[in-house]
A and B are shown apart, each in its own frame.
Chain A
Amino acid sequence: MSHIRVTGLGKTFPGKPPVTVVKDLDLEVEQGEFLVLLGPSGCGKTTTLRCLAGLESPTEGSITFANRTVFDAARRVDVPPNKRNIGMVFQSYALWPHMTVRRNIGYPLKVRGRKQELSEGWVEKTAALVDCGALLDRYPGQLSGGQQQRVALARGLVARPDLVLFDEPLSNLDARLRDSVRAELHELHRRLRYTAVFVTHDQSEALALGDRLAIMNAGRIEQYDTPQRVFEQPRTEYVAAFIGMANRLPVERGHEGWTCAGAPLVGLPGDGTIDGDRGALRLRSDDLLVLRPNEPAPAGATVLRGSVADAEYGGRHMDVVVVVAGQRLHARVPCGGSDGWARQLVANDAVQVAFMTSDARFYEGSGTAPAVGADPVTPQPVQA
């Protein structure tokens, strides 16, 4: 049985018209697991998290923590946040300005009447854990942003809650600090093994921290998987686009097999696994090769002709936008050594782009990858 189980969660905000922000959402989080909710702005991540915390009352579904129902719309159970045994780290930290760091961190123990833990020095130990041992007698106003974030973290963890919730806790930090706090967070979780749900819209944060990722789209979960599988085998076209497969190439089945932008596609499955005649390929920008007009393509690659729309210098690489049959494709071309010619690319240059079908993910017209069993498959090139 999972530690945290969310079933059929729905949240509609009243209004004219009412807004449904979360729809029929299911989640299971194992004991000690670090789940990341990832999705674009406005997709309902914060709302889902607040429903878990009890700060928002869902309109449908049920939520169970360690076999204890904390919310059930049908049975009208709604345990208030203070009875849910959770910890939460807010984006704005929300440290109480009238309390010292010590009292801030000690608050969850104090209000739960856990005197023993207080006297055993859990506050000091937790503070030491996040490197804030020296700040205990300061007020939040006397701390830097990163220090405040650490104190907020300590406050969320100190009472060893069933579940720790994070709402974009790193987004107020500058880039460098964000990386170091992220690393600390990862290490802390590896050692303490608390159960966590972490909300972010930053892909790299999600890949680095999550044991599992839930990719959200408009109030639903599109894919719920390990970071590797989400990254390598995005189940839907939406997930693929969100996780970095920015290029979309429509393909269709003609008399002589599959074509892509008018050119024959090398090695798309012509067997019966795909029923429809239309679909799209999704490709990462670094899987797209840019070749000079007459340059021979690698064996097995599909080659398309196009022209450069724009080229940006990026140090070790060039970011090139190529227009192929009206589609804008983004390619990341290494430009050290022999590929140095790419530096000279300017708009309207004629080029070829090439890719291996095995690097691309195929999605049928509906945008869902064809599934074999439970496992989403990558279309395999036809091997000789």
Chain B
Amino acid sequence: MTATVEQAFPDAGSDGGGRLSGLRTSTRARSTSSRVALGAFVLVLAYLVLVPLFKLQQLAVADDFRGYRVAFGDGRIWETVRTTVYLAVGSLAIAMVLGTGLAFAASRLPVRWRGLRSLPVLPIVVPGIASVTGWIFLLSPRPGYLNAALRNLPWWNHLEQGPVDVYSLPWIILITGFGLTSFVYLFVSSGLSGISSEHVEAAEVAGSSSIGVFFRVILPLLRPALVYGAGIALLLGLGQFAPPLLLGTNTGISVLTTDMYAATSQSPVDYGAAAAIGSPLLVFGLLVVIGQKAFLGDQARFVTHGGKGFQARRRSSPLSVLAIVLYCLVATVLPITGLLLVALSPFWSGTLDPGTFSLDSFRTVFGQSDIVTAILTSLTASLLAVLIVVPIGFVCASVLLRGQRFRILRQVLDYLVAVPLGIPAVVFGAGFLLTYSAPPFILYGTKSVIVLVYVTIMLPFATRMLLTGMTALGSSYIEASRVSGAGLLGTNLRILAPLLRSTAAGAVALIFVLLAQEFGASLLVRSSTTQVMGTVLFDYYTNGAYPTVAAVALIMTAVTAAGVVVALVLGGRNALDKL
């Protein structure tokens, strides 16, 4: 060792400090410029998120609250509100029971069936509008395949239609509940993996029975996850759009979101009334977001799952395999089967004739320039939005995690990025329609407005996913780089970006999946010439071109499935959990 010292440091001992002396940076200058930059950033986001909501309210209260008077003047709105609450609470109940049950089942899967754990997430992947049309093809009272099959049963063979009426409220609730189950499942399973097996074993050693352990230890420990999951599911339930729109419109079942859409799409078009109809959702969503921030506070972001994971040592049960496979069959495979059958048939009737199966409907799809354009628009708009929102999410996450010196801006940002989570996409869509059809930015009918609304509604997801990744990374890698002489930008490029690569790639793919199937906001901001997959699907459905509808739905599903595969490859096995 001794010999190398002199070589390594030819003039070891002399003053090595002169190099940077004299370089002086004033705090004021440094923090002022970054404060200004951050302020501008927050302002842009505030414009994106808040102005559309503000415009809605402005219109609703204009002319002495005309919008509110039209919307709430006759008593019918209360019927709608009641239906909305039924739908939200009913689907929440179904989702909580199924989601929690499935999460427990997943924690008790036998080792070689562990892979099944991600199956309950599939309904998120299958585009909502695709699976709803799938259910219609199966359970429509007269021509639904499943109904037709059930009518062959001896005790139903006298029926002309039914036995199931998918256009009734209970079935709307049930189908919505199936979709929400996946979200509850995600939250509960990540909560479960945070409970260390020692907690459970300690209770068992202390003499609790398994049921006692469940009620006294596991449920109380899970409460935060359950409350959070229930909150999100409730918001999603209130904002449900595709199921009530497709299933309820014909039978006069309406919820706030569909009423709002009706006010903007049927004559007489009344945007003021639409805005007023959306208000209860807006207010409730904001209350939930603010309440959640106030209750969970800063801490919630720094919760780490230190435990060894509760699933590791539980006794496994073959029943759990059955439960998960059954759920996957009912919630995913069945509707897709419905789509497949219709897509392959020349037309949709209750009877199946495999002899007539063909790929004609797919040929039709690819021959229709409007559909092809819509598919391309969907892909490019989603991709563009992802490429914009993920870097924004990165900046937001950095500021939330390390921007303590910007007290107020950071607080504002914290709320700002959470707001879109509380507000249904349809409401945002309406707000964007109003904001960008008038000066200063007239973008109606362009792809830009679609991209903008996509960026806005994905802000919470992008920020949350990157925040999770960055929290897990800790601060010492960054600090080590700073003291080694790297600036902020250099540290972000050389250290943070490579270390966050898989998180960011997972976020990109997942957000793409969510956007490619986006329907609610798209339906409001689209124009007849600028369509996306979901909206052309809806138009063709309205016109009764069912095999084409089925083919488009399948193509949508294929696109999102491809996105998920990319997410899994890039983001690792647990990419889906980061939702």
Contact = CB atoms under 8 A, between A and B. Distances in A.
Contacts of A69: 24
A112 interface: yes
A68 B8 contact: no
Contacts of B18: 66
A161 B483 CA distance: 10
A82 B4 contact: no
Interface stretch (A84-92, A272-280, A310-318): A84-92
Interface in B26-43: 26-28, 30
A112 B494 CA distance: 13
A79 B24 contact: yes
Interface stretch (A121-129, A251-259, A334-342): A121-129
Nearest to B31: A78
Contact of B483 (A82, A92, A126, A129): A82
B244 to A, nearest CB: 46
Interface in B1-55: 1-2, 4-5, 7-9, 12-13, 15-28, 30
A107 B484 contact: yes
Contacts of A80: 25, 30, 482, 487-488
B286 interface: no
Interface residues of B, number: 42
B27 A107 contact: no
B498 interface: yes
Contact of B5 (A87, A131, A162, A192): A192
A55 B479 contact: yes
Contacts of B27: 57, 76-78
Nearest to B21: A68
Contacts of A65: 17
B528 interface: no
Contact of A94 (B19, B21, B479): B479
A298 interface: no
Nearest to A85: B20
A96 B4 contact: no
B243 to A, nearest CB: 45
B486 interface: yes
Contact of A55 (B7, B483, B485): B483
A159 B485 contact: yes
B495 interface: yes
Given A32-B13, A111-B484, A193-B12, A66 B21 contact: yes
B485 A129 contact: no
Contacts of A54: 482-483
Interface string B468-485: 000000001101111111
A94 B491 CA distance: 14
A14 to B, nearest CB: 8
B25 A94 contact: no
Given A57-B405, A77-B27, A82-B482, A126 B21 contact: no
A98 B499 contact: yes
A90 B17 contact: no
A86 B490 CA distance: 17
A105 B486 CA distance: 13
Given A53-B483, A96-B477, A107-B484, A162 B16 contact: yes
B75 to A, nearest CB: 49
Sort chain A's interface into a size bin.
35 or more
Interface string B288-307: 00000000000000000000
A229 interface: no
Interface string A26-62: 0000011000000000000000000001110100000
Interface string A109-143: 00110000000001001101101000000000000
Interface centre among A55, A88, A96, A122 (most CB of B within 10 A): A96
Nearest to A50: B479
A160 interface: yes
Contact of B482 (A55, A77, A160): A55
Contacts of A165: 483
A267 interface: no
B483 A87 contact: yes
A43 B60 CA distance: 59
Given A66-B15, A85-B19, A77 B483 contact: no
A69 B27 CA distance: 12
A346 B9 CA distance: 60
Given A82-B485, A96-B480, A193-B13, A77 B21 contact: no
A67 interface: yes
Contacts of A107: 481, 484, 486, 494
Contacts of A88: 479-480, 483-484
Contact of A67 (B21, B25, B481, B486): B21
Interface string B361-402: 000000000000000000000000000000000000000000
Given A65-B17, A82-B483, A129 B4 contact: yes
A84 B20 CA distance: 8
Interface of A: 3, 31-32, 53-55, 57, 65-69, 75-88, 90, 92, 94-98, 107-108, 111-112, 122, 125-126, 128-129, 131, 155, 159-162, 165, 187, 191-193
22 contacts: A31-B15, A54-B483, A57-B27, A66-B21, A68-B22, A78-B26, A78-B27, A79-B24, A79-B25, A81-B483, A83-B25, A92-B476, A97-B499, A107-B486, A107-B494, A108-B485, A111-B487, A122-B8, A129-B5, A129-B8, A155-B480, A192-B12
Closest 10 CB pairs of A and B: A125-B8, A66-B17, A94-B476, A94-B480, A162-B17, A111-B486, A78-B27, A108-B484, A81-B482, A88-B483
